Structure 1
Amino acid sequence: MHHREKLVVIVGPTAVGKTELSLQLAGHFDGEIISGDSMQVYRGMDIGTAKASPEELARVPHHLIDIIEPDEEYSVALFQSAATRLITEINQRGHLPFIVGGTGLYIESVTHRFEFAQAEQDPELREQLQRLAAAEGVEALHRRLAEIDPITAERLHPNDVKRVIRAIEIYQLTGRKMSDYQHRAKHSPYDLVMIGLTMEREKLYERINQRVDKMIEEGLVEEVRRLLDRGYHPALTSMQGLGYKELIPYLYGEITLEKAVNDIKQRTRHFAKRQLSWFRRMAEIQWFDVTHREDRVKAGETIKKILAGKFHQLPNI
């Protein structure tokens, strides 16, 4: 029988306490942590992405943090190939890989091996489609996609021109729709334990608000100002991240700091809700409520038992 690679995944909404628990578990089981967060890949974006502190990062080996500049492209397909390779390497070292984070699409692309369109590119066709978008508007381009691939069109906003063009390109080059490619394997290829952390909504929102206040205290405004001073454009994917996007109008003198901070809190709460609904669809997740301190302690103990039983892994004592 083929020996499947071990993998532990810890998911949950932002501010629920994933970092703390993952450090504790990875320390206990000789683990290495792969960040499953689409924003922590960027260098120079530390406070707003809630990266673990240098001391925490030193406690356990971490991967996929600080790997690119804020103006470099990153995608779920790049994440998938990097994480898949890391899981193999960590298993080969005799360590236990933990993917920890809140970016559902990224994590699921690894746990359930999404297939992404590997189609070639056609620069001429791209150019032509870009001209069409410029001449007739993004809606015209989006309508064209809707005719050939309604599922992908439904998922993409007309303003997401780059992806709309990519989806049309894939169809023209392969005769297959982008939505045909992105299917999810029924069973994970890994020997997998998925842990989900949740807490009462009021408590989670309170923690989110406290976290945002703490980010401001730690110098988030200065972090965003530094990125702008270094010439990073506000329209970059990285600069559109939560906590960055909202502070830019403040730094341009368009809104008050108080309004910017409230916007961050409100958008983070909405984001947490979306994260939960993404993870709720995943049947494999074992959920733990960590609303109170004693819940967290109990969850930690139970998860240790689950992992020890599943992987016959000796704790690193």
Structure 2
Amino acid sequence: MPRPPLIAVVGATATGKSDLAVELALALDGEVVNADAMQLYRGMDIGTAKITVAERRGVPHHLLDVLDVTEEASVSRYQREGRAAFSAIRERGRSPIVVGGSGLYVRALLDEIEFPPTDAAVRGRLEQRAREIGPAALHRELATSDPEAAALIGPQDTRRIVRALEVGQLTGRSFRAFLPRPVHHEAGTVQLGLRRERAALHERIARRVDTMVSQGLLAETARLREHGLDRGVTARRAIGYEQALAVLDSTMTCEQAVEATVVGTRRLVRKQDTWFRRDRRVRWLDVDETTSPVTLRDRALDLLAQPAS
């Protein structure tokens, strides 16, 4: 069948995206590009349900295990490296298949998004000014210099006010000019979304967390701590690892950590579901426990055969 120039498999955590991406890669001679922010980190395997080498079934996977846990994930860097991976995959005559549930990372690869520069010194001065005069006063300054951005940002949202002012000072452009637009970077891109009934997905999440614990999540977290997990700006806050660190520090019992991880994952699922459902370009596939990988693959191929909008 004709292959779309770019395929993405998206949706909430624990819906089965990784397995479908492998099936599609085998069917379409493709390679997979990860779009899960926490799977960028080396060693964060059990707690992110990272696909194993055996489960990849020989399909090359890109942008897995590319950051140390002490590094901060950068969406702009991810965009550059992801699109470079697309080019390399195509040079090999193969098809890139994006898979993941980190909405902003998916959009960074698929959509027309330009990321403005940052400057720690400029941001530091603005943050200091926010502490001195308060966010509402700083918001009034933003309303003078960038009224479009001020209309979008609440007067108490210090972080976004500071960022909008920083962007204006560094680029001379409105912060709104850098907001993502739902326009695919490449014509013909197809997004396939997986969704499961909410109650069934909650049960699946609970089982997944129990499995992570039995597979050694605490031991994995202890090893990552030796490599600086506590210093990680992004990695240490990952659901599951934050709770495992609390168990290692004796501020949570294992039972409390499991419950907190399940609740946190369910909260994440709601956010992911809202993010992807509002994108009208996604073609949805409903999945349940009776859906075999082959059946799901064939249904996905049928959707891919339809013309892209």
TM-score range, shorter chain: 0.7 to 0.9
Structure 1, 209-218 or 72-81: larger mean CA deviation: 72-81
Aligned partner of residue 236 in structure 1, secondary structure: coil
Q: Does 1:83 align with 2:114?
A: no
Question: Residue 60 and residue 288 in structure 1: after superposition, are their counterparts in 2 closer, same or farther (change >3 A)?
Answer: same
Counterparts of 1:254-269 in structure 2, within 5 Å, are 254-269=251-266
Counterparts of 1:142-291 in structure 2, within 5 Å, are 143=139, 147=143, 148=146, 149-150=149-150, 153-154=153-154, 158=158, 160=159, 165-184=162-181, 186-233=183-230, 236-291=233-288
Which residue matches 1:315? none
1:145–1:153 contact (8 Å) kept in structure 2: no
Which whole-Å CA distance do the structure 1 matches of 2:203 and 2:138 have between them?
40
Which whole-Å CA distance do the structure 2 matches of 1:187 and 1:42 have between them?
27
Which residue matches 2:132? 136
2:70–2:231 contact (8 Å) kept in structure 1: no
Question: Residue 270 and residue 127 in structure 1: after superposition, are their counterparts in 2 closer, same or farther (change >3 A)?
Answer: closer
Which whole-Å CA distance do the structure 1 matches of 2:242 and 2:137 have between them?
27
Q: Aligned-pair distance for 1:296? A: 5.3
Which residue matches 2:30? 31
Q: Which amino acid aligns with 1:91?
A: R
Aligned partner of residue 23 in structure 2, secondary structure: helix
Q: Aligned-pair distance for 1:85? A: 1.8
- Return 5+ residue gaps in structure 2 as ranges: none
1:5–1:87 contact (8 Å) kept in structure 2: no
Q: Aligned-pair distance for 1:310? A: 6.4
Aligned partner of residue 293 in structure 1, secondary structure: coil
Q: Which amino acid aligns with 2:225?
A: L
Question: Residue 218 and residue 152 in structure 1: after superposition, are their counterparts in 2 closer, same or farther (change >3 A)?
Answer: farther
Percent identity between the two aligned chains: 36
Q: Aligned-pair distance for 1:246? A: 1.9
TM-score, L = length of structure 2: 0.87
Question: Residue 18 and residue 178 in structure 1: after superposition, are their counterparts in 2 closer, same or farther (change >3 A)?
Answer: same
Q: Aligned-pair distance for 1:75? A: 1.7
- Return 5+ residue gaps in structure 1 as ranges: 312-317
Superposition CA RMSD, Å: 2.8
Q: Does 1:112 align with 2:108?
A: no
Which whole-Å CA distance do the structure 1 matches of 2:91 and 2:254 have between them?
49
Question: Residue 257 and residue 110 in structure 1: after superposition, are their counterparts in 2 closer, same or farther (change >3 A)?
Answer: same
Question: Residue 44 and residue 223 in structure 1: after superposition, are their counterparts in 2 closer, same or farther (change >3 A)?
Answer: same
Which whole-Å CA distance do the structure 1 matches of 2:250 and 2:133 have between them?
31
Question: Residue 146 and residue 207 in structure 1: after superposition, are their counterparts in 2 closer, same or farther (change >3 A)?
Answer: farther
